[in-house]
């Protein structure tokens, strides 16, 4: 009993944090883990390599090394040469703006720059909230006025002369800009307390979703004029634009509905308890959060709408795809379909990939949606 | 003192002034009779604690007071305004009655400061600068001003609940409702929220608090109400309520929650 341990108060000292154990790393280790992990994996890797060896060098030879970058159609018809990119250079204006008058090309260019400016203002956060919304909603009208003219001292350019990538981008961007708010309103209408509004919204959405886009475009282009009263004439392009907006808004509505349904009841209750009315609750609290939740499918719808604009070829508009097709029938440049469609695919991909990247940027920015 | 004549000439100086008057309140969820003939009133500056087992209707009762739940029978009058289906009345009452929720319900896409300035600017048409000054003042009072520009997801639960209290105070409410404000918090964070509520009570705020924090009830309540099965079983001042409950059901409940 001579040794007594001292029992009682002890100060808590946290242990120091240690570095995690070293992972095995290096290229060889990575390759073994990812490419040769078992015999199935090794076989697939070998097959993949064979496929790449068989196709990529040939494509590169055609597209880059043996390609003709300048000159006329005859220079490209020599044996053994690759892709004729001179064709793209020679037809560039037609592909971009169609047969739009050369002297007026600054107008679509300015519209495009304006759109880039609004995108920049939005992405950089220079304008926010209501003012940002206003910028976006004014943009389609300014673009149609600039490109079409016919009022306020701007000389008119007939819509039969609009074409090329300009037309595709115009149809798609105006379609997106107007169908998103319209879709939000339709989605809110589906949740409306008024049975009449609810029925109207549901009927509209279900009818439009049950019909292929091409049908809507035909109806807008061919059938609508039959029903319009004598003397009333809405031009073809505008009818098709409206058709695309209606089509897109029905899909947007369903996307937004998913987001609205995912909103926790507590958000509605907190807004109500503060005395906010329905309009303010939706505009400031519910819709912004719901839109954030549905950003990935929404960007998907935007990309789909841009690609869908190529269908207007069928109702007689010469959009980007239409111009690609038409330009290969020019006697100077006959027989360069491959170049034409590869270039077309590249441009479509570029636009869609930009939208996709912007979507990812939006998803990753701003506050985390934790509750 | 002739209260009737005073009320007619200067209602502001009528004492005790009735803040909330609930008469013969009945509510059903489908066939389920959740509130049965509730009569209860709160005078200005009074602090009421409502307790009871889960499913007793205590949350439903205070959610009826600002029309988050609709009642089917009976009258609710808040500061002379009757709660009817009139949207105007409902919005008026909601802007004067603050509410703090179990799960805070801050707006996660807005900064703390924006959470506090939204309602005053929209509902009270307060200029933004003024709303921000007021918001910072209340954030300082709940000791959280340094987080004003963070988002709710970046602060702890206790801090979020204090922000929620400040958000309600920014509307200068005449009465504050608390619906189990500490039930979703880690034990270490309960005290920081209760401290804010005690402070609020000491400043004379009219409060109706649904809570299981009996320490809070003993310290600040003027009256404790015990509910079970959709009825008010017993109400008394805290001393008598805890020391000698009159109904066996109350004693039973108190022994359950104080017994350990």
Would you say residue B6 has pLDDT above 60?
A: no
Q: What's the CA gap between B224 and B219, in Å, rounded?
A: 11
Nearest to B94 among A275, A280, A370 (CB): A275
For an interface test with A, the pick among B66, B119, B125, B149 (most A C-beta atoms closer than 10 Å) comes out as B119
CB–CB of B122 and A270 under 8 A? Answer: no
Residue B260's pLDDT band, with cuts at 50, 70 and 90, is: low
Q: What's the CA gap between B79 and B97, in Å, rounded?
A: 10
Q: What's the CA gap between B61 and B64, in Å, rounded?
A: 5
Beta partners for residue B26, in sequence order? B73
Chain B residues whose CB is inside 8 A of the A284 CB are 118, 122
Q: With 0-12 CB in 10 A as exposed, 13-18 as middle and 19+ as buried, what is B37?
A: middle
The contacts of residue A99 (CB under 8 Å, 6+ apart) are A161, A163
Beta partners for residue B33, in sequence order? B28
pLDDT given for residue A238 in this prediction:
86
Alpha-carbon gap: B2 to the closest alpha carbon of chain A (Å): 36
- Segment B63-91 shows an average pLDDT of 90
- Helix, strand and coil in chain A, % to nearest 5: 70, 0, 30
The contacts of residue B59 (CB under 8 Å, 6+ apart) are B179, B180, B210
Nearest to A292 among B67, B101, B109 (CB): B109
Instruction: Considering only residues B9 and B179, tell me which one the structure prediction assigns the higher pLDDT.
Output: B179
- Which DSSP letter does residue A264 get? -
CB of A59 less than 8 A from some CB of B: no
CB B190 within 8 A of CB B156: no
Q: What's the CA gap between B89 and B95, in Å, rounded?
A: 10
CB–CB of A266 and B105 under 8 A? Answer: yes
Q: What's the CA gap between A271 and B249, in Å, rounded?
A: 37
In chain B, at which residue ranges do the beta strands (DSSP E only) sit? 18-29, 32-43, 47-51, 73-78, 81-82, 97-100, 175-179, 206-210, 223-228, 231-236
How many C-alpha atoms does B110 have within 13 Å on its Cβ side? 22
Cα separations in angstroms, B72 against B40, B67, B76, B83, B84: 17, 11, 11, 12, 10
Residue of chain B minimizing CA distance to A289: B109
Alpha-carbon gap: A181 to the closest alpha carbon of chain B (Å): 20
Would you say residue B1 has pLDDT above 70?
A: no
Choose among A297, A319, A300, A299: nearest CA to A309: A319
CB of A151 less than 8 A from some CB of B: no
Q: pLDDT for B166-218, tens place per residue? A: 999 999 999 999 999 999 999 889 999 999 999 999 999 999 999 989 999 99
Chain B residues whose CB is inside 8 A of the A279 CB are none
Give every residue of chain A whose pLDDT is below 50, as ranges: 1-2, 369-371
Cα separations in angstroms, B58 against A28, A270, A290, B176, B246: 66, 18, 31, 15, 20
CB–CB of A368 and B151 under 8 A? Answer: yes
Cα separations in angstroms, A281 against A152, A170, A317, B107, B197: 39, 33, 43, 11, 27
CB of A367 less than 8 A from some CB of B: yes
Chain B residues whose CB is inside 8 A of the A275 CB are 91-92, 94-96, 119, 123, 171
Residue whose pair of structure tokens reads 């896409």 in the numeric block = B109
**Annotated domain spans of chain A:** 165-322
Residue of chain A minimizing CA distance to B111: A367
Fold for A165-322, please state it.
MetI-like fold (1.10.3720)
Cβ atoms within 10 Å of A304's Cβ, excluding its own:
14
- Segment B96-103 shows an average pLDDT of 94
pLDDT given for residue A21 in this prediction:
72
Average pLDDT, chain B: 89
Q: pLDDT for B215-252, tens place per residue? A: 999 999 999 999 999 999 999 999 999 988 889 999 99
Chain B residues whose CB is inside 8 A of the A274 CB are 94-95, 118-119, 123, 167-168, 171
Q: pLDDT for B142-161, tens place per residue? A: 999 999 999 999 999 999 99
Bond prior to B147 in cis (omega within 30° of 0): no
pLDDT given for residue A222 in this prediction:
82
Nearest to A273 among B87, B94, B103 (CB): B94
Question: Among positive and negative, which fits the CA dihedral A165, A167, A172, A177?
Answer: positive
Q: Token digits for A300?
A: 């998907």
Chain B residues whose CB is inside 8 A of the A193 CB are none
Nearest to B108 among A273, A274, A370 (CB): A370
Q: Token digits for A142?
A: 């300014």
3-state secondary structure of B210: strand
- Which DSSP letter does residue A21 get? P
pLDDT given for residue B202 in this prediction:
92
CB–CB of B171 and A274 under 8 A? Answer: yes
Cβ atoms within 10 Å of A111's Cβ, excluding its own:
22
Nearest to B109 among A266, A274, A288 (CB): A288
Chain B residues whose CB is inside 8 A of the A363 CB are none
Would you say residue B116 has pLDDT above 50?
A: yes
CB A166 within 8 A of CB A147: yes
Q: How many helices (H) and strands (E) does chain A have?
A: 18, 0
DSSP character string of B68-109? SS--SEEEEEETTEE--S-HHHHHHHHHHEEEE-TT----TT
Chain A residues whose CB is inside 8 A of the B97 CB are 273
pLDDT given for residue B48 in this prediction:
95
State the distance between the two ends of chain B, measured CA to CA, in whole angstroms: 48
CB–CB of A274 and B108 under 8 A? Answer: no
How many C-alpha atoms does A4 have within 13 Å on its Cβ side? 3
Residue A158, phi then psi, degrees to nearest 5 = -60, 145
For an interface test with B, the pick among A270, A280, A293 (most B C-beta atoms closer than 10 Å) comes out as A270
CB B110 within 8 A of CB B151: yes
CA dihedral A168, A170, A174, A176 (to 10 degrees): 30
Chain A residues whose CB is inside 8 A of the B69 CB are none
Nearest to B119 among A266, A276, A367 (CB): A276
pLDDT given for residue A231 in this prediction:
66
Choose among A2, A318, A346: nearest CA to A165: A318
Beta partners for residue B49, in sequence order? B209, B224
For an interface test with A, the pick among B103, B107, B183 (most A C-beta atoms closer than 10 Å) comes out as B107
């Amino acid at each position: 009993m001579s040794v007594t341990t001292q029992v009682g108060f002890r100060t808590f000292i946290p242990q120091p944090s240690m570095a995690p154990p070293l992972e095995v790393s290096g290229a060889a280790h990575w390759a073994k883990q990812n490419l040769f992990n078992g015999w199935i994996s090794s076989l697939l890797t070998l097959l993949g390599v064979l496929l790449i060896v068989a196709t990529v060098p040939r494509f590169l030879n055609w597209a880059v090394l043996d390609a003709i970058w300048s000159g006329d159609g005859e220079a490209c018809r020599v044996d053994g040469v690759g892709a004729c990119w001179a064709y793209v250079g020679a037809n560039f204006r037609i592909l971009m703006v169609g047969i739009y008058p050369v002297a007026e090309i600054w107008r679509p260019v300015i519209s495009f720059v304006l759109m880039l400016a609004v995108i920049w203002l939005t992405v950089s956060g220079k304008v926010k909230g209501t003012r940002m919304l206003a910028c976006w909603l004014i943009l389609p009208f300014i673009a149609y006025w600039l490109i079409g003219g016919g009022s306020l001292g701007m000389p008119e350019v007939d819509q039969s002369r609009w074409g090329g990538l300009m037309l595709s981008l115009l149809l798609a961007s105006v379609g997106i800009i107007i169908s998103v708010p319209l879709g939000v309103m339709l989605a809110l209408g589906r949740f409306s307390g008024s049975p009449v509004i609810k029925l109207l919204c549901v009927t509209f959405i279900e009818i439009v979703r049950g019909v292929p886009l091409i049908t809507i475009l035909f109806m807008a282009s061919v059938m609508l004029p039959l029903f319009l009263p004598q003397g009333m004439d809405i031009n073809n392009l505008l009818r098709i634009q409206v058709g695309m907006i209606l089509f897109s808004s029905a899909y947007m509505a369903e996307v937004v509905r998913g987001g609205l349904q995912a909103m926790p009841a507590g958000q509605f209750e907190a807004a109500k308890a503060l005395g906010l009315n329905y309009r303010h609750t939706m505009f400031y609290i519910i819709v912004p959060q719901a839109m954030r939740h549905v950003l990935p499918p929404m960007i998907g719808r935007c990309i789909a709408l841009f690609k869908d604009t190529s269908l207007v070829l069928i109702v007689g508009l010469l959009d980007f795809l239409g111009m690609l097709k038409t330009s290969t029938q020019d006697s100077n440049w006959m027989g360069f379909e491959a170049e034409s469609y590869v270039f077309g695919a590249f441009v479509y991909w570029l636009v869609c990939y930009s939208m996709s990247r912007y979507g990812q940027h939006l998803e990753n920015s701003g506050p985390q949606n934790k509750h | 003192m002739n209260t009737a004549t005073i009320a007619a000439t200067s209602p502001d100086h009528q004492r005790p002034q009735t803040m909330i008057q609930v008469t013969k309140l009945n509510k059903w969820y489908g066939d389920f009779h959740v509130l049965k003939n509730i009569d209860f009133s709160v005078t200005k500056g009074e602090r009421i604690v409502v307790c009871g087992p889960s499913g007793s209707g205590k949350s439903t009762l205070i959610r009826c007071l600002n029309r988050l739940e609709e009642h089917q029978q009976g009258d609710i009058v808040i500061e002379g305004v009757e709660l009817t289906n009139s949207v105007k009345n409902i919005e008026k009452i909601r802007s004067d009655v603050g509410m703090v929720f179990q799960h805070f319900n801050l707006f996660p896409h807005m900064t703390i400061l924006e959470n506090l300035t939204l309602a005053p600017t929209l509902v009270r048409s307060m200029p933004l600068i003024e709303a921000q000054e007021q918001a910072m003042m209340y954030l300082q009072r709940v000791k959280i001003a340094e987080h004003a520009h963070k988002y709710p997801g970046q602060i702890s639960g206790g801090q979020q609940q204090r922000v929620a209290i400040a958000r309600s105070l920014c509307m200068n409410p005449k009465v504050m409702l608390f619906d189990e404000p500490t039930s979703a918090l880690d034990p270490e964070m309960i005290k920081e929220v209760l401290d804010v509520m005690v402070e609020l009570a000491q400043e004379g705020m009219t409060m109706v608090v649904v809570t299981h924090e009996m320490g809070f009830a003993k310290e600040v309540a003027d009256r404790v109400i015990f509910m079970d099965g959709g009825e008010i079983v017993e109400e008394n001042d805290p001393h008598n309520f805890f020391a000698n409950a009159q109904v066996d059901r109350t004693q039973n409940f108190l022994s359950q929650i104080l017994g350990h």
